[in-house]
Amino acid sequence: MEIQTSAARTRAQAVLGGIGRAAGCLALALCGLSAASGAEPGGLDAGQAWARSISGTMEVTLSALDPSVAAQPGSPVLGRKGLSKRYHGVLEALAEGEMLTAGGTVKGSGAYVAVERVVGALDGRSGSFALVHRGVMQGSQQVLLVSVVPDSGTGELAGLRGVLQIERRDGQHHYRFDYTLP
């Protein structure tokens, strides 16, 4: 797993700038790619010191959904998928969401955006929150940014802020969640 450093942030900005902040190819982490992840460069949580860091595993199921945009010959392919997850570890939760994907005209290039609602318990505190994903890949470079949607925490998770890192190894999805709760 690659933790995002200053050099990785610079690389992420270059990749994002090189292919635009496109929405939407299969999710980098869900395709088994290890990706730089963490606070979004220049984003709301840039430079954030997190109070807690946890890790665990998750099960991920993708399902095809009817595309909201019709295919056009000679144009990038757009896709839409439903996602269901089950988080295990200090975060015990179920999640549901949707993903939009875009394939580049060059093999290995693409992007995705997704939102998911997570309902369960984090370190024994019950509630729900939303995550927003943005993944981009170009050749061997991949960037995955997953953040808690500001002010989305409910119940005992109200005020939650954080970033999620995802890696697929040994045939299983692993996560690291760096977060702060009031």
pLDDT of 45: 64
Domain locations in the chain? 6-180
Q: Which residues contact 73 (CB under 8 A, 6 or more apart)?
A: none
Q: What percent of the chain shows pLDDT beyond 90? A: 58
* Distance separating alpha carbons of residues 28 and 86, to the nearest angstrom: 18
Higher pLDDT, 73 or 30: 73
pTM over 0.85: no
Between 3.40.190.10, 2.60.40.10, 2.40.350.10, 3.40.630.30, what CATH number should domain 6-180 receive?
A: 2.40.350.10
Higher pLDDT, 126 or 47: 126
Evaluate the CA torsion angle 31, 120, 153, 3 in order and state its sign: negative
**What Å distances lie between residue 136 and 91, 96, 104, 157, 158, CA to CA?**
26, 21, 10, 29, 30
pLDDT of 44: 60
Tally the C-alpha atoms within 13 A of residue 115's C-alpha that lie toward its C-beta.
Answer: 6
DSSP 160: -
Write down the residue that tokens 């995002």 correspond to.
4
Phi and psi based region of residue 164 (left: phi greater than 0; alpha: psi -120 to 50; beta: remaining): beta
pLDDT at position 68 over 90: no
What is the tens place of the pLDDT at every residue in 81-125? 999 999 999 999 999 999 999 998 888 899 999 999 999 999 999
Round the average pLDDT of the chain to a whole number and report it: 80
* Distance separating alpha carbons of residues 136 and 177, to the nearest angstrom: 20
Contact (Cβ atoms closer than 8 angstroms) between residue 135 and residue 30? no
What's the token pair of residue 163?
């970033």
